[in-house]
């Protein structure tokens, strides 16, 4: 691993970066809440090694792409911003895999994104993806509540139904590591 891939800013640096890029106040509050939830989940994991520092900073920066766009491509934009700034590839991956329950190639195509898989693979990616679903704005919700809101807004689309199954599977996987 090159040195560049390891650069992980501290909490203050990450929050300052969000401020510098004029992130909306509500997004910053959401990101801090996600960090709290993600750390709470991480603290319950006993059967796997979890990088809690990566969890905290990754959560704070997961929506950094929203300084450019609020479309689904904010995930990719976020990854790009972090790579350009020389931060850890692990942080960029966290941005890219946090949407819904992650996106497979088919989902990416449907959303007009480059046809690649953006699925959470590492335990840190999975925890942050799940924590993001469990925090709507700054409010803690269940996966059921989160998806019910999306279903009433966008309908029970195949992509949302698939995402729900995928994030439930991730939640089960993490519970099995407790
Ligand atoms: Fe996001």
Cβ–Cβ contacts within 10 Å for residue 162, how many? 16
CA atoms within 13 A on the CB side of 20: 8
Residues whose CB falls within 8 Å of the CB of residue 36, separated by 6 or more in sequence, listed in order: none
Q: What pTM value is reported for the model? A: 0.96
Q: Report the distance separating Cα 23 and Cα 154, nearest Å.
A: 26
**pLDDT at 74 (0 to 100):** 97
Residues of the chain with pLDDT under 70: 1-5
70 CA → ligand 1 middle, Å: 8
149 CA → ligand 1 middle, Å: 16
**pLDDT at 6 (0 to 100):** 78
According to DSSP, the β-strands at 139-140 and 135-136 are antiparallel
Question: What DSSP string runs through 124-169?
Answer: HHHHHHHHHHHEETTEE--HHHHHHHHHHHH-S-HHHHHHHHHHHH
Residues whose CB falls within 8 Å of the CB of residue 84, separated by 6 or more in sequence, listed in order: none
46 CA → ligand 1 middle, Å: 27
**pLDDT at 5 (0 to 100):** 53
**pLDDT at 175 (0 to 100):** 98
Q: Report the distance separating Cα 67 and Cα 83, nearest Å.
A: 15
**pLDDT at 2 (0 to 100):** 53
**pLDDT at 147 (0 to 100):** 98
Q: Report the distance separating Cα 114 and Cα 108, nearest Å.
A: 6
43 CA → ligand 1 middle, Å: 23
Residue 87 has which token pair?
């931060």
66 CA → ligand 1 middle, Å: 7
What structural domains and CATH numbers belong to the chain? 4-175 (1.10.3210.10)
5 CA → ligand 1 middle, Å: 22
């Amino acid at each position: 691993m090159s040195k560049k891939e390891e650069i992980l800013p501290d909490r203050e640096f990450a929050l300052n970066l969000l401020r510098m890029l004029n992130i909306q106040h509500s997004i910053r509050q959401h990101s801090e809440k996600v960090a709290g939830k993600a750390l709470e989940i991480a603290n319950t994991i006993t059967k796997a090694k979890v990088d809690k520092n990566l969890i905290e900073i990754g959560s704070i920066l997961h929506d950094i792409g929203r300084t450019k766009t609020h479309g689904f491509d904010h995930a990719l934009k976020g990854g790009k911003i972090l790579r350009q700034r020389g931060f850890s590839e692990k942080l960029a991956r966290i941005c890219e895999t946090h949407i819904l329950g992650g996106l497979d190639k088919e989902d990416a195509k449907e959303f007009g994104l480059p046809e690649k898989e953006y699925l959470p693979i590492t335990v840190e990616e999975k925890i942050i993806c799940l924590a993001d679903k469990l925090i709507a704005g700054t409010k803690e919700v269940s996966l059921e509540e989160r998806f019910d809101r999306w279903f009433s807004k966008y309908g029970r689309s195949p992509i949302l139904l698939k995402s729900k199954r995928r994030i439930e599977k991730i939640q089960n996987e993490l519970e099995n590591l407790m």
